[in-house]
Structures are given as structure tokens and as C-alpha cells.
Amino acid sequence: MDRRKATQRAWELVNKMTLEEKASQLRYDAPAIPRLGIPAYNWWNEALHGVARAGVATSFPQAIGMAAAFDVDLIKEIGGAIAEEGRAKYNAYVKHGDRDIYKGLTFWSPNVNIFRDPRWGRGHETYGEDPYLTSRLGVAYVKGLQGNGEVMKAAACAKHYAVHSGPEAVRHEFDAKATQKDMEETYLPAFEALVKEAKVESVMGAYNRTNGEPCCGSKTLIQDKLRGEWKFEGHFVSDCWAIRDFHENHMVTYTAKESAAMALNAGCDLNCGNTYLHILNAFQHGLVTEEAITQAAVRLFTTRYLLGLFDGSEYDAIGYDKVECQEHLALAHKISLKSIVMLKNDGILPLDKKKLKNIGVIGPNANSRAALVGNYHGTSSEYITVLEGIQRYLGEDVRVLYSEGCDLYREKTEVLAWPYDRLKEAQIVAENSDVVILCLGLDETLEGEEGDTGNSYASGDKSDLQIPLAQRKLMEAVAQTKKPVVLCMLAGSDLDMSYAAEHFDGILQLWYPGARGGKAAAEILFGEVSPSGKLPITFYESLDELPDFEDYSMEGRTYRFMKGKAQYPFGYGLTYSKVEVEEAFIQAEKEGALVTASVKNSGDMETDEVVQVYIKCTDSSYGTPNPQLCGFKRVHLRPGEEQKVSVFVPERSFTVVDDSGKRCKDGTQYELYVGCSQPDERSVELTGMSPVKVKMTKI
């Protein structure tokens, strides 16, 4: 069903409703209207990395981990699999009359905010710090989730619009002030791409204000930019209880009815929260018109018609057997393998089990289920921790010794014990092992959403880049044994790796690898598969070069604007082989340019690699200080194999943004870098390879 027909059907249905009935449908928990044959519908569902919060579903790596795969096609395939499970669950629930929260087909995903500061606790819900990477992966995910059938397979949502990335502690009252240049250059491109290219069905407003206006009641963001400039036709939803913040925290209105009116008049159709219970009161006081209420209801019912919820669809036959099916589990395993980033390898990896008698697996995240899944997750019927993955892989061939080593952040594991009561056990295990796998990091209780977890830190945000003190002491205790150590870091953000880089032989960034991610970790550790993930964020040496967390200026932030050297740069990640771009050619085209690169695996192991293209305009003062990502492609190469790889660079990459926020052509001279990393000094230092540099003129 096309949108025009769906909208017409929605108008016909809504026009049969009373004013009270129309207003009731603007709540996330929309009640049934039996006289019109309209069932209840709960709009709130989540699918960040699998169908969430509604029972069993396939658990994919957290979004930041999926981003590290740099694999557009796979992300789209995952979106389709998640939508299929969503349909399977919806079909089954409806048959049983269950229309509860988290059981609908309107998924409030993906999160395409820019991870501009490593302290933000929700950064692991995003696709990282780069607008181009975020746009490509976000568009792919939305297309996969919504499908290309007669009706939408599921409805995706671009969130949180806009300029939202902490601090969590003050988000309900915070005003994120961004220049027009930073808005167009960094904060808005992903949202624009999801609207224009992926036709995302909904957009969710953020809690904060942006340049003085509450995001869920912003004429500038919703009317002028989203619906006006970008021609967005779907529905707009508030973040949960964000409209209440207008009068309680932002202080831009005095009463709930004024807040409801402000949001509705700005174009917010759906209220996650209860402030739209005051819509009729606002109407009675002349603050909103019936036409505005009708328009919002029509947009919402248009979405329901587009999902085929009234007429049936091809997806109604999807059975419950698709939930956590073998095909989807295999897909989760595939992305888990591709997401793991090897940051350091002094020859210790891959491990050879034939040379091991005892292996020590140590750390609070070694056998932690919470560290597998991140936040906004579903339930798995099986969990495979790193410890369990190693045990299963080795079987009876190698003895696996284990120690928790320490609590995730508390100073002891037993209430009556001495402080750091598991350190000696960890040392004993290490001393009796040929090699140690040290599993550290965080979980959703230490980095996440304000009010959503029981974290002990700053409302989900991090105050610094240090892992908790108990884990730092564990690192030191294990290092004292002088045994070979591979650090496996399970976390969703930048943590200081300086001690590990100095004292340990290998470092793997596992992110939150999914419910069965321990299997992938073991296969990487023992060389069944070469690691091939790339960092979608910068790992900084310190926070010193960054502006204050509350400062939304991009100066000094992310790889595009930083002035110093990164600890581990955006786009960096090692493999078990050696893949290099030997030469590259660029051909200008009407809609951009085509980069053709010769890529060779001169190592002795087959591996995936990610060919990356970065661009810098050299004759415009408006370009970003450092080259920025403009294209990438994942390739698979056998030992000795050489491939010609083509990467298309869109015309937009040959534009810059001036100080007024206008995107324009201001230069003609460009430098493009083609390699397996970005062209910064630190990446060259770490990889021992430099990307190929090509100059071009493009008018």
C-alpha cells in the first residue's frame, strides 16, 4: 500500500471518530475503539540489536559492535531478521489477545545520535562518532527493518532528534547549544539520510533543548527542517515523558496543557508519556485546534495502515518458529565475529591449543551474561560467556582455570571478606596457566541510560576513561605474574588502554558481543577466524584535549577535529594477516567519484579487511581539519590473493559546510586516502602501513 492510499484510508477512519477518540489515539498506549473495530495498540517497542523487552529473541551485538563490522549489507540483513522476529512475535501475541507494551511493530530504533564524547553512557547504542558511517549503517538498518514488501515489515524510528549525546544526569533540563555549522556537518546528516534515503517511518525527539527549543516541541527542528526542508511524511514521537519536561524542568511552559499544546502544534504526533492526557484541556482553552489533533491522528493511523494492521498482509503468515531460529542465530554469530577489534598483537594471537596445557580465564566479565548484551536487549534461550566459549572450544584437550578476580566495581566479592578478596586467586590461576585471558570492562549497570539502570556512576555516564579501581588492581596483580596475557575488553565505549598496551601481549575489543558472543570470542582467540573489526570511535589518550562534556562544540572532538594523537584511532583494527592497498585510481562521475583500489593479502591467513576512503578539501577554509570517511567496503581475501575493489564516493563528500550552516561547493582540490585505516600518523605507526594518497580536481 502506498502512502497516499494509506493516508486516505486514515482520513476516512479518523473522520468517524469523536474529538475525544482522536485525542486518545495520540498516546503511546492507544486504547481500543470497539465501535469502529479498532483494537488497542501500544506503540512502544524496541529493537536496538534484536527485539527487546518482550521475551525470547535473537541477541545481536550491541549497536556499537555492529558498527565496528563496517558492513552495510550485513546490517541490512540483520534489520530484516529482527523485523521477521518482530512479526512472528506480534502475530502470536495478537492471537492470544496480548497487545501489551513491547509487543507491537513500531520499533523505536535505530539510535543515530553522534557519539561525540566518550563519557556519554548511551554511546554504545549508536553507530559511533562519524556522520557518514552512522548514515550508511542507519539507512541500511532501516531499509532492512521496514522491508520492501506490499506493506512495511516493521516501522523504524530515527532517534533522538537532535543534538543529543549527554550528559544523562541533566538531559531533562539541558540546552544543547550547537553552531549551525556543527548542526549541518555533524549532528543532522544521519537523520537527514534516514528520512530522505531510507524513508524512515518515524522520528523521536530528544529530551534536551537544542539552541533554546525543547526538541519535542521545536518548530525549527520539526516543522522547518524535518517536515519542511526534508519533506518527512511519517509520524513524530516524543521521548518518554519528555513533554512533561517542558514545564517541570525546561521551564518553557507553565502547565501540562501548555506543554501538550506546544508539542502538538510543533508537529509531535505521539506522546510517550501522559502529558497528552491534557490535550482536550488544551483544546478547551483554545491552545490547540481540532484540526491539529486530527492531523496527528491521521499520521498515526497512516502508519498502522502501512503496516497492514487492518487489512492483513503477507507477513501475517510468519510463524513463531522464526523467533531465535538457526538462520538468525547464525547471522548473530557472523556479525559477532566481524565486530571484534584487535587493538594489539605482539605475536601471541592466535593461540595454538596444541601448545597449551592450562589456560587461565580471569576477570569479572569472563563469565558475565550482562557483559554480553549491553542495554535495550531481549532474552536469549542460551548465553555463552567468554569463559564458556573457551571451555566449549577446548573441550577436554586443555584445562581451563577460572577466577572472577574482582567484582565489576566493588572492592570485594564477599561482604565479610578483606578488600580485593579475589586478587590472590587470580594470581594463583595465572601462575598455573600457560596463558591468561583477562576479561574486563563494563556492563549496562555502569554505562547506560539515566534512570534505566542501577549504575553507581554519573547517571549512566562515565566521569573519566578509567576502568573501575578494582579492575585496575586486578590488571596489576595479573601483570605481576609475568605470564602472557590477552586482554578481552567487554565495554561499549573508549576506556584507557595504556596500562594494558604496556604490560599485555594482546588486546581484543569485544564490545557487548551478543548473548552467545563467547563463542565468537573463542574462535577469534584460537584463530578459527581472523579479527577484522574497526573502531567506530576514537580511543583517546586522555580527556584533556576535549571540551567540557556539556560543550557541544565539535572542536577537538572525534577523529575529524582532534589535534593530538589517539591511543587507538577511529577506523583502526588489526587482522591475523597483512592486507594492504597497493594502488588506487579515482574517476570523477556526475554523482560523485569511483575509487578503484588494488588490495592484496600478502600474509599467510585468509581474512576480511575493510577498505576505507577518506577525503579532505585542501582549498576551502570550511573543510574539516582532518580527512573524513567518505566510503568503505568490506572484502575477503585468501593468502596471496589480490582484488580490485571499487568504492563509490558520493557527491556530498565533495561539499563543505560554511559558518552559516549552508552545505556548498567551496573548493575544487581534494586529497583522497585509500587504505585499511585512516591516514593519521598514529594509524600508520600502529599498522606499519600508509594509505595510498591520490589528488584530484573536481569542479
Enzyme catalytic residues: 239
Whole-number Å distance between alpha carbons of 406 and 559:
34
**Residue of 161, 160, 175 lying closest to 245 (CA atoms):** 175
Q: Could you give the angle at which helices 326-339 and 517-525 cross, rounded to 10 degrees?
A: 50
452 burial class (0-12, 13-18, 19+ CB within 10 angstroms)?
A: middle
| Residue 395 identity (one-letter amino acid) | G
414 burial class (0-12, 13-18, 19+ CB within 10 angstroms)?
A: exposed
Is 577 in contact with 603 (CB distance < 8 Å)?
A: yes
Instruction: Determine which helix (DSSP H) or strand (DSSP E) holds 630, and give its type and residue range.
Output: strand 628-637
332 burial class (0-12, 13-18, 19+ CB within 10 angstroms)?
A: buried
Whole-number Å distance between alpha carbons of 94 and 674:
51
Residues 27, 31, 34, 38: is their CA dihedral positive or negative?
Answer: positive
Is 475 in contact with 553 (CB distance < 8 Å)?
A: no
CA R_g for the chain: 25
Whole-number Å distance between alpha carbons of 537 and 246:
33
473 burial class (0-12, 13-18, 19+ CB within 10 angstroms)?
A: middle
User: CB 250: neighbour CB atoms within 10 A?
Assistant: 22
Q: Residue 413 is placed in which grid cell?
A: 566479592
Strand order in the sheet with 669-675: 628-637, 607-617, 669-675, 692-697
User: CB 636: neighbour CB atoms within 10 A?
Assistant: 13
Q: Strand, coil or helix: what is 541? A: coil
Whole-number Å distance between alpha carbons of 66 and 49:
8
